[in-house]
Amino acid sequence: MVQLSIPVFTPGYYKTNYRALRLRELFRWYGWQRGFAAWLKTRSMRPTRSGWWMPGLWADNECKQEDLSPDFWQATKPHRRDFEQLGFVACGYSKVTKTLNPLIRDPGGIFYLDPTRSHFGQLIYLRHYRPSRRAEINEIVIAFTAVFEHGTLSCTNRRKSFDSPDAGEVIRLDSYDVPLIYRRFREELQRRPDSPQAFPDLESLRQWFDARQLKHFEDRVRRRLFIPMTNPEIAAARAAFQSAGPPPLPPPPRRRFRLEFWPTIIALLLLLLMVHRHLRVPGDTLEYQGQHFKMRLPYASFEDYKDDPNNLDTNELGRIGQVMESVKIPRSFKNREALIRFMVFDLEFPGYGLSSSVSTLTDDGSTLDLESVEIPQADKDRVIVARESDGQWKLVDDFIYDTAGTNDISRVRLAHHELQYFDNAGRVFRDKSL
């Protein structure tokens, strides 16, 4: 019988810290070219504002059959038929209700056992809103798992999953064909000399499931992939979740890169990776704007420094904030590259966040660029907005944005010579006349 360990970390709402994603995880999700670009992008991303209840034990999400939505039953009808034809019997129903993510619309699932009670099957359904497509997307996850004395074997169509702390093998197939995935699962089982563990009753299955969930949860909290949400963050996320904002805007048109540019781009990315991996933080201070600021302790690498959420001497935080808020912003930039270069090399504090977005929501045909940098451990951002006109980018706004318990800036619009800023709930929180 599996002994359920006492949780090391407190159950509750946790947000995701994408900076903790590993390169191999992103390679698995997107392939090596897109994965490397995603890895570079996530180095400066902040943790999400929304979260999930974790660790997500069996009882946390357990529901009755009738609690699952009509959309669930319709979308999973052929897959459920396949499970049943393979001899699997439903042994549990799941519906995630403790989520603060407004993009999640309908999550549900069914757990199965085969006649030997040693093959654990999962059919997971997730309907969510994807802003880039301005549409709701259905995702179906199929998985089969067998438990051995030393590890597990799983076969699934799920590609976007985090690294597992278990000594287990995961085979991933790009298919929604339940019999095909199960056939590959059985082929791998036949290559193993030992037999998988059977679950004589539902309680034994629940205990194993919960022990695995706890192990994965605690490993990801240690990695700082999952970060506990504070009470103000939970309250703000609940408010954003319950408020009905306008539909997200369509993404800006993508620029097409000519094929001959890709070797140069890839070479630059590889060079940046080499520099990143060999970068070291000398001593116990960092330089910013010609001044030196003391870190909490000497770090072996820049990566170690970035991964520590309390990496700065608390006595320096006030001075860092003053310096960042007093940096003089040029009144204009010759092009957008010059603007980005200033943000990255002059305004962004080493190891802390920078975000960027371009908006064409103007009534005069100009383009706006909204840039913001995180002021370390202060729940504040410095935000600047530049406007493109006749090929030049001119500074039109510069302010400090309080991020404690508030939504992120969703977009900025220019109409009738007035800038309007919207949060994620669609509310205008700042106006400025030009």
394-417: pLDDT as tens digits: 999 999 998 876 567 777 888 888
* CB neighbour list of residue 235: distance below 8 Å, 6 or more residues apart: 405
What is the DSSP code string of 125-158? EEEEEETTTTEEEEEEEEEEEEEETTEEEEEES-
Which own/partner pairs from 375-378 qualify as long-range (CB within 8 Å, at least 24 positions apart)? 375/320, 375/321, 375/324, 375/325, 375/349, 375/400, 376/312, 376/317, 376/320, 376/321, 376/349, 376/352, 377/310, 377/312, 377/314, 377/317, 378/317, 378/321
* pLDDT number for residue 261: 47
Q: How confident is the model at residue 188 (pLDDT cuts 50, 70, 90)?
A: very high
Mean pLDDT of 124-137: 80
pLDDT in tens, 143-173: 999 999 888 999 999 988 888 887 688 999 8
pLDDT digits (tens, 9 = 90+) for 288-346: 998 999 998 888 777 678 778 888 999 999 999 999 999 999 999 988 878 888 888 88
What pLDDT is recorded for position 275?
Answer: 47
Q: Specify whether the CB–CB gap between 313 and 294 falls below 8 A.
A: yes
Query: Which of the four pLDDT bands, split at 50, 70 and 90, describes residue 129?
Result: confident
pLDDT band at residue 271 under the 50/70/90 scheme: low
Overall pTM surpassing 0.95 (yes/no): no
Question: What's the mean pLDDT in 194-216?
Answer: 94
Q: Which is higher by pLDDT, 267 or 139? A: 139
Chain segment 224-246, per-residue pLDDT in tens: 899 999 999 999 888 877 764 44
Strands 89-94 and 52-54: unpaired
pLDDT at 278 over 60: no
User: Given strand 367-375, what is the order of strands in its sheet?
Assistant: 332-333, 392-402, 380-389, 367-375, 354-359
Instruction: Report the C-alpha gap between 110 and 91 in whole angstroms.
Output: 8
What is the percentage of the chain residues whose pLDDT exceeds 90?
A: 43
